[in-house]
């Protein structure tokens, strides 16, 4: 955690804010308003739920996902059973919203839970490394390095030895 996992999805979150509320459930520490404001996210669209009991957090996530008025729900949760994950997935389809589930890497590797996209993230000096473990309608990928030097020069180191496959961040969508 705290390796750039929120920044990686920032362009996605930004795009989502126009179609509904952004809900953050059980963030590991206090979320900074300054961070969101500086990155062009309207704070009025944000709802923070400080629910640290797993059953409460899951219940709230489900309510938000299926309400249809939240476009994105980010949930920090250590463990999730397959049954719970399926239920969450169904409610997100019902409300046409997205769930971002952040959990520690060692827990994730234990077994796979139903999801449309699953990624493993690792810290890297250039930005962040990501591997797609599973995606709906696509292939798993090798470890990719995402170069965030352009966007966050202060947070990255200028190293000369680059790994093989580097993608620039933010990636401009092809039209």
Partner 1 sequence: MLWLYLDFYALQLDALELEASPQAPEVSEAQPVILVEAKHNTVVQYNKAAGSVGIEIGMGLAMAISLSNQVSVLEYKPELEGCKIQQVAQLLYQFTADIVLEPPQGLFLRIDTMFTLYHGLDTYWQNMQQPLGELGYLYRYATGSTPLMAKLLAKTGRNRIEASPEAMKQALQQLPIAQLELESKTAQSLVRVGINQLGQLLALPMKELARRFDIHVLNYIGRLTGELKHGLALFQPPRHFQAEMELMFEVTNTQCLCKPINKLLKQLEQYLRLHALVTQSIHFALMYRYDEYIEIRVARASGEYKSDKWLQLLELKLESVRLEEPVVGLRLWADKLRPFAATTGSLFSAKQALVEEDELISLLQAKVGKDKVLSMQYSPSHHPQFTTELVPAGNEPIGKADKAQEPELDKELVQRPSLQLARPMPLRQAVKVLQGPERLQTNWWNEHKIQRDYFIARDVSGKLCWLFRTPQKQWFLQGYFA
Residues that bind partner 1 (CB under 8 A): 1-7, 19-21, 27-38, 42-51, 56, 59-60, 63-64, 66-70, 94-96, 122-125, 152, 154-157
Closer residue to partner 1, CB minimum distance, 45 or 87: 45
**Residue among 153 and 168 whose Cβ is closer to partner 1:** 153
Tokens of 118: 């699953």
Q: How far is residue 81 CA from its own chain's centroid?
A: 19
Q: How far is the CB of 164 from partner 1 (least distance, A)?
A: 19
CB hemisphere CA count around 162 (13 angstroms): 15
* Residue with Cβ nearer partner 1 (49 or 113): 49
Distance between first and last Cα of the chain:
33
Using the structure block, give the residue that is written with the tokens 């957090």: 57
For residues 29 and 160, which CB has a smaller minimum distance to partner 1 in the complex? Answer: 29
Closest contact distance (angstroms) between CB of 133 and partner 1 is 19
Exposure pattern of 52-62 as b/e (b: 16+ CB <10 Å)? eeeeebbebbb
Cβ neighbours around 20 below 10 Å, total: 20
Q: How far is the CB of 84 from partner 1 (least distance, A)?
A: 18
Residue 72 C-beta: closest distance to partner 1, Å: 13
């Amino acid at each position: 955690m705290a390796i750039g996992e929120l920044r990686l999805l920032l362009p996605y979150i930004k795009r989502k804010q126009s179609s509904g509320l952004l809900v953050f459930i059980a963030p590991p520490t206090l979320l900074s308003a300054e961070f969101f404001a500086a990155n062009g996210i309207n704070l009025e669209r944000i709802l923070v739920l400080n629910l640290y009991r797993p059953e409460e957090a899951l219940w709230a996530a489900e309510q938000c996902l299926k309400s249809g008025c939240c476009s994105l729900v980010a949930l920090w949760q250590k463990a999730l059973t397959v049954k719970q994950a399926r239920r969450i997935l169904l409610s997100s389809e019902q409300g046409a919203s997205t769930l971002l589930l952040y959990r520690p890497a060692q827990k994730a590797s234990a077994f796979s839970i139903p999801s449309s996209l699953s990624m493993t993230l690792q810290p890297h000096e250039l930005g962040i490394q990501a591997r797609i473990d599973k995606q709906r309608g696509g292939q798993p990928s090798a470890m990719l390095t995402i170069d965030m030097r352009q966007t966050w020069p202060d947070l990255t180191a200028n190293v000369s030895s680059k790994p093989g496959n580097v993608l620039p961040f933010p990636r401009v969508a092809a039209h």
